[in-house]
Chains A and B, each alone.
Chain A
């Protein structure tokens, strides 16, 4: 019985020792796994941060591209508008316009200090030149609309305009 008992005790001691070794191994493994876990987590966080940073960079790049595109569009539009405006600008160098302006100066006189045509304010002169130019160089739609605000002297502008148009017609008649 003792032998048996002793064998059994020895066997139990061995078992316990094996179990302890196994436990130690497991604990080591656990530490290792925990370490790996922590390591992987920080790596994931790091990668996520990198992704976010790259995403921000991507967005900024897209926004920049959009802004550039808009700028290009605006520049192209402005270029077109300026071209159109240049085409619409009255041609002050044409002989008929030169004659008209000389006639206006002859009728109304010139301010010796400023060089302005007397009786007509600069904006009125601008309107006369605008409409005269439409007469001398007709656009697709013929004619002109004097749509200035009330009280800016539309009648005076048109009266001056008619004088110059008649003068030009007389000149053309005489030269023919």
Chain B
């Protein structure tokens, strides 16, 4: 029986190793596309069932995709299937299209059995579920429009079309198994959220002046828009998100920071339409990163191993890596292109005690908890900054809170007063408020954005 296992690139090796530890051999197919094709051909030449693990993006290469199509897969496993959400975009992604084509063909023509794995059914909006239900059953879920029409329920108060979750879950029940940690009777040690640590910027610091100037300029146009806006007016959310992104970067990414600056008319206070590209250099001290450094050192002094997450930036991790290494700490990092499997093994074996992770690469599929199976692992997690989606952060936290965890887990967060951190917390809390039974987050709507921004600006 041929088995194809699709996963995130950073998990290709670790998934194969975990399968092997459970007695089922999967071969990781890695490298560039020609290398992958070569490995595939070599493995296929043996007179044995083909068991391969590769990354989602492999299907984008025509040669490799044709090789995948040429086999009759008995099982296709898609790990973290919620990542396959590109089908719900207005223009579906190529990865989604090719994966869907491959699955539909294999299931309908060759009788393949698909197995989807996911710890968070949906990340942003419920429509994303359609993106992976379509390849599972194209007859029942033929199009996104059909999905919305069939499972949509108009909320007459907000005028928004909501998904009828009960109906959807009822339909999925024969094919889905979903249980929480409490339901399976596993008594894990508690996960504790420590009180958020708030630091204040020193007005004398150069970085404070630069950041505050940037923050003031970033929202000038938005404030004017919000003041004159009636309830039906629309807000360019893409524009707002871009500004928030600038400020988040400026707060945690040391070094040179590039951004688009709009000039402000002194008389009218309005922003110009055109902009000039500017760069700003943030020099040490970096108050937030220094606070994280101190927090980690404090935990290390107590003999604790620590995982530090950045929501999406490598630069703060590199800065902290240099700092920890210079102070004699044994430290590792997982960013794009890292050998995740080797880093995980070193951390489990206690060869490293501090692990710096970019959440976009290492929030899923890793076992970094304290347990009886290895001497290392961590029970303390520190977040440098916030991600838009609480569900992704929960995934990251749960790298240390897994079956077998033998110690309580502690989650720490560091924020800076009066900065974009406050808005990010408000956004996350709002998403939690509108959390639903099937998912933990839903997209923010224009009205929500207006309310949140009015409070912040």
The residues of A with any CB-CB pair to B shorter than 8 Å are 88, 107-108, 119, 121, 123, 126-127, 130-131, 134-135, 139-156, 158-163, 165-166, 169
Q: Which of B23, B137, B174, B401 contacts A163 (CB 8 A)?
A: B23
A155 and B22: CB pair below 8 A?
yes
Task: Report the Cα distance A68→B119, complex, angstroms.
Answer: 42
For B403, what are the chain A residues with a Cβ–Cβ distance below 8 Å?
Answer: 121, 151-153
Question: Roughly how many angstroms separate A131 CA and B77 CA in the complex, as a whole number?
Answer: 12
Query: Which residues of A sit under 8 angstroms from B185, Cβ to Cβ?
Result: 123
CA distance A159 to B79 in the complex (A): 12
- In the bound assembly, the distance between CA atoms of A12 and B25 in angstroms comes to 137
Binary interface encoding of chain B residues 151-189 relative to chain A, with 1 for a CB under 8 A from any of its CBs, else 0 = 000000000000000000000111111111100111000
A145 near B118: Cβ-Cβ < 8 Å:
yes
How large, as a class, is the contact surface on chain B? 35 or more
Partner of A158 from the list B77, B136, B181 (CB cut-off 8 Å) is B77
For A127, A140, A149, which residue has the most chain B Cβ atoms within 10 angstroms? Answer: A149
Q: Which of B77, B140, B176, B179 contacts A149 (CB 8 A)?
A: B179
Of the candidates A107, A121, A142, A165, the one whose C-beta lies within 8 Å of that of B114 is A142
Residues of chain B contacted by A145 (CB below 8 angstroms):
81, 115-118, 136, 172, 175-178
Say whether A146 contacts B115, CB under 8 Å: yes
Question: A163: which B residues are within 8 A, CB to CB?
Answer: 22-24
Closest to B396 in A: A150
Give me 16 other A-B pairs in contact (C-beta within 8 A), A153-B402, A169-B74 excluded. A121-B403, A142-B113, A143-B107, A143-B137, A145-B118, A145-B136, A147-B119, A147-B177, A149-B119, A150-B398, A152-B181, A155-B18, A156-B18, A160-B24, A166-B1, A166-B3
> Does B15 sit at the interface, judged by CB under 8 A?
yes
Docked-complex contact A165 and B1, CB < 8 angstroms: yes
User: Cα distance A166–B24 when bound, in Å?
Assistant: 10
Instruction: Flag whether B350 is at the interface (Cβ < 8 A).
Output: no
A168: nearest chain-B partner, CB-CB: B1
Q: Which B residues touch A123, using CB under 8 A?
A: 179, 184-186
A33 to B173, CA, bound (A): 79
Query: Can you list 5 contacts pairing A with B, beta carbon distance less than 8 Å?
Result: A108-B23, A123-B179, A142-B113, A150-B119, A166-B74
| Given A149-B179, A169-B1, CB of A154 within 8 Å of CB of B119 | yes
| Cα A165 to Cα B115 with chains together (Å) | 12
Q: Give the residues in chain B near A134, CB-CB below 8 Å.
A: 174-175
Residues in B whose Cβ lies below 8 Å from that of A155: 15, 18-19, 22, 79, 117, 365
B98 at the interface (CB under 8 A from A): no
The distance from the CB of A104 to the nearest CB of chain B, in whole angstroms, is: 10
Once the chains bind, are B177 and A142 in contact (CB under 8 Å)?
no
Closest Cβ of chain B to A133, distance in Å, is: 10
Whether the Cβ atoms of B1 and A144 lie closer than 8 Å is no
Contacts of A169 in B (CB 8 A): 1, 74
Chain B 43-60 interface residues, beta-carbon cutoff 8 Å to A: 49, 51
B120 CB-CB contact with A under 8 Å: yes
- Is the beta-carbon distance between A143 and B114 smaller than 8 angstroms? yes
Docked complex Cα distance between A95 and B380 (Å): 48
Smallest Cβ-Cβ distance to A161: which chain B residue? B115
A130, A160, A162: most-surrounded residue (chain B CB, <10 A): A162
Q: What separation, in Å, do the CA atoms of A130 and B403 have in the docked complex?
A: 20
The closest CB in chain B to the CB of A130 belongs to B177
Min CB gap A160→B, angstroms: 6
Task: Pick from A143, A148, A159: contact of B177, CB below 8 A.
Answer: A148
Chain B residues, Cβ within 8 Å of A108 = 23
Tell me whether B137 and A144 are in contact (CB under 8 A): no
- Contact indicator A154/B117 (Cβ below 8 Å): yes
In chain A, what residue has the closest Cβ to B14? A155
B115 touches A144 (CB 8 A): yes
Which residues in chain B, 352-373, are within 8 Å of chain A measured between CB atoms?
365, 369
Q: What separation, in Å, do the CA atoms of A114 and B120 have in the docked complex? A: 33
Rounded to whole angstroms, the CA-CA distance of A107 and B21 in the bound complex is 13
Q: Select from chain A the residue with minimum beta-carbon distance to B137.
A: A141
Tell me the nearest residue of chain B to A120, going by C-beta: B22
- Is B394 an interface position by the 8 A CB rule? yes
Q: Tell me how far the C-beta of B71 lies from the nearest C-beta in chain A, rounded to whole angstroms.
A: 15
A146 in contact with B177 (CB, 8 Å): yes
In contact, B137 and A88 (Cβ under 8 angstroms): no
Cβ of B100 < 8 Å from any Cβ of A?
no
Are A146 and B401 closer than 8 Å at their CB atoms?
no
CA distance A55 to B394 in the complex (A): 58
Q: Is the CB of A148 within 8 A of B179?
A: yes
CB proximity of B176 to chain A, nearest CB, Å = 4
- Which residues of A sit under 8 angstroms from B15, Cβ to Cβ? 155
Give B411 Cβ to nearest chain A Cβ, in Å: 14
List, in ascending order, chain A residues with CB within 8 A of B79's CB: 155
CB < 8 Å: which of B113, B175, B186 contacts A165? B113
The residue on A at minimum CB distance from B129 is: A145
A142 touches B173 (CB 8 A): no
- Bound-state CA distance A107–B1 (Å) is 19
Who on chain A is nearest to B174 by CB? A139
Please give, as numbers and ranges, the residues of chain A lying within 8 Å of B184 by CB-CB distance.
121, 123, 148, 152
Q: Which of A149, A154, A156, A160 has a CB less than 8 Å from the CB of B180?
A: A149
In the complex, are the beta carbons of B177 and A141 less than 8 A apart?
Answer: no
A-side contacts of B24, CB under 8 Å: 159-160, 162-163, 166
B296 within 8 A of A: no
Minimal beta-carbon separation of A108 from chain B (angstroms): 8
CB distance from B170 to the nearest CB of A (A): 9
Provide the bound-state CA to CA distance between A17 and B332, in Å: 130
Across-interface contacts of B115 in A (CB, < 8 A)? 131, 143-146, 158, 161
Q: How far is the CA of A153 from the CA of B74 in the complex (A)?
A: 22
Q: How far is the CA of A145 from the CA of B119 in the complex (A)?
A: 10
Whole-angstrom CA separation of A123 from B394 in the bound complex: 22
